[in-house]
């Protein structure tokens, strides 16, 4: 019995989970001491524990465990981000949010594509595929950063919401370009726009309905029979929101964000929990989000392929710098210019230009292209992982400093 393969595998898995959690606890403590976002040290710890370091953590990208942790972890962090957003803030900036989450993704993909075509000698359709993969920002990175660093609500909640809403756009654009690259090249703009609209509306509607029902059952005066089970309700609803909407071929990530948005703003709908139950729920969400962050970024760091990065490093670095320093500022200024009501200041716009970390979703898309053996997928994966490393290590660590310099920190 002791030597059963199932038991041995279970012990190996328990050891792996224990190592990741212990590493995350230590690095999280260090991150708090040196005042940097914890996701940065989680990523670096993953690199040390992975194949580039001590080879202690070896979880394959396409394994069930990896996909489970990435999907549910991203969903729960996204839910946490939605619950942190206040509708009273978003109502003043929603035009900027819509434009930057849609048109902004297209602009970023196109500029990055031209850079990739020039520096990496990729055919334009595959250069555009690369641009589409890394065009969306990463809620799993940005949400924790803005939870730890108190930045002006208008800016923080716009950037967090953008990271949630542009996932659908980035995924749709990636699959549309992939269809062109792998087929005769036929492409319907109207069909793609309708698909984007369908995914967005289904995600918003599904998340809103589930969020309202969850609020009803845990915070209504008469019907809150699940109030003491509120933490369990969040886990069940996050998984249910993602799976149900994803099975309808819509954006599950958008659904969980909207679910969190509705639940976090339940007072707007006349729902109110007792202070004891509210505090218990907040503590549970905080702890669960931390655990999910640890798993996601330690695993992501352990899977970085440095041999691939070395092969294409300098041209890939050029593409990433164009992506960060040219594409992102143009996206921010172009997409916010029509929204006069938001009254964006130059300091707010400059901060948004710098804050656009790349992470889990682009990494997953790049891994999928490698698995499908798409031509030039190795180049796309190389640039994607370099973008993840640079944006998280450089941009995330300088977020507090830049916000302080621009006068955007809140007490």
- Bridge partners of 409, per DSSP, are 151
Query: Model pTM?
Result: 0.82
Closest to 78 in 3D by CA, of 215, 203, 198, 218: 203
The contacts of residue 344 (CB under 8 Å, 6+ apart) are 96, 336
Distance CA 234, CA 231 (A): 5
- Domains of the chain, residue spans: 62-405
- Class of the CATH domain delimited by 62-405: mainly alpha
pLDDT digits over 37-54, tens only?
888 899 899 999 998 888
Q: What is the pLDDT of residue 167?
A: 72
Q: What is the pLDDT of residue 21?
A: 95
DSSP per-residue string spanning 209-231:
HHHHHHHHHHH-TTT-TTGGGHH
Q: What is the pLDDT of residue 74?
A: 80
Tokens 């031509």 correspond to 375
Tokens 């760091």 correspond to 301
Distance CA 147, CA 392 (A): 16
Predicted confidence band at 75 (pLDDT cuts at 50, 70, 90)? confident
Closest to 313 in 3D by CA, of 246, 382, 244: 382
Q: What is the pLDDT of residue 401?
A: 93
Distance CA 314, CA 382 (A): 11
Q: What is the pLDDT of residue 186?
A: 56
Angle, in degrees to the nearest 10, between helices 252-264 and 64-84 = 40
CA distances (Å), origin 401, targets 206, 391, 395, 404: 38, 15, 10, 5
Lowest pLDDT segment from 81-95, 110-124, 189-203, 234-248: 189-203
Q: What is the pLDDT of residue 119?
A: 95
Q: What is the pLDDT of residue 150?
A: 87
pLDDT digits over 346-387, tens only?
999 999 999 888 877 787 788 778 777 889 988 998 899 899
Closest to 353 in 3D by CA, of 369, 338, 371, 334: 334
pLDDT at 130 over 80: yes
């Amino acid at each position: 019995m002791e030597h059963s393969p199932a038991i041995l595998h279970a012990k190996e898995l328990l050891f792996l989970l224990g190592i990741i959690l212990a590493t995350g606890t230590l690095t999280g403590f260090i991150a708090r001491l040196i005042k940097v976002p914890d996701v940065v040290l989680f990523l670096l710890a993953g690199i040390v524990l992975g194949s580039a370091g001590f080879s202690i953590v070896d979880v394959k990208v396409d394994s069930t465990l990896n996909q489970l942790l990435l999907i549910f972890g991203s969903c729960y962090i996204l839910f946490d981000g939605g619950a942190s957003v206040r509708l009273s803030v978003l109502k003043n900036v929603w035009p900027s949010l819509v434009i930057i989450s849609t048109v902004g993704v297209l602009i970023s993909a196109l500029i990055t594509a031209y850079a990739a075509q020039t520096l990496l000698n990729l055919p334009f359709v595959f250069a555009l595929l690369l641009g589409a993969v890394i065009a969306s920002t990463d809620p799993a990175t940005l949400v924790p950063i803005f939870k730890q660093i108190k930045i002006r609500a208008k800016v923080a909640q716009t950037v967090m919401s953008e990271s949630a809403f542009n996932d659908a756009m980035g995924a749709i654009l990636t699959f549309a370009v992939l269809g062109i690259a792998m087929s005769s090249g036929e492409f319907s703009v109207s069909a793609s726009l309708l698909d984007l609209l369908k995914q967005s509306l289904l995600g918003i509607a599904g998340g809103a309905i589930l969020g309202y029902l969850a609020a009803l059952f845990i915070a209504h005066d008469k019907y809150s029979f699940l109030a003491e089970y509120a933490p369990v309700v969040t886990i069940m609803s996050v998984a249910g929101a993602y799976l149900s909407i994803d099975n309808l071929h819509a954006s599950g990530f958008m659904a969980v964000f909207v679910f969190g948005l509705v639940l976090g703003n339940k007072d707007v709908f006349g729902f109110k929990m007792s202070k004891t139950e509210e505090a218990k729920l907040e503590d549970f969400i905080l702890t669960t989000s931390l655990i999910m962050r640890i798993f996601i970024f330690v695993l992501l760091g352990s899977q970085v392929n440095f041999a691939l990065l070395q092969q294409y490093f300098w041209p890939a670095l050029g593409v990433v710098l164009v992506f960060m320093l040219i594409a992102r500022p143009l996206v921010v200024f172009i997409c916010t210019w029509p929204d006069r009501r938001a009254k964006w200041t130059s300091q707010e716009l400059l901060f948004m230009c710098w804050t656009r970390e790349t992470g889990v979703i682009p990494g997953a898309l790049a891994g999928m292209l490698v698995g499908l053996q798409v031509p030039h997928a190795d180049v796309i994966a190389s640039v994607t992982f370099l973008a993840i490393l640079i944006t998280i290590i450089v941009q995330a660590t300088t977020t507090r400093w830049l916000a302080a310099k621009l006068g955007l920190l809140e007490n």
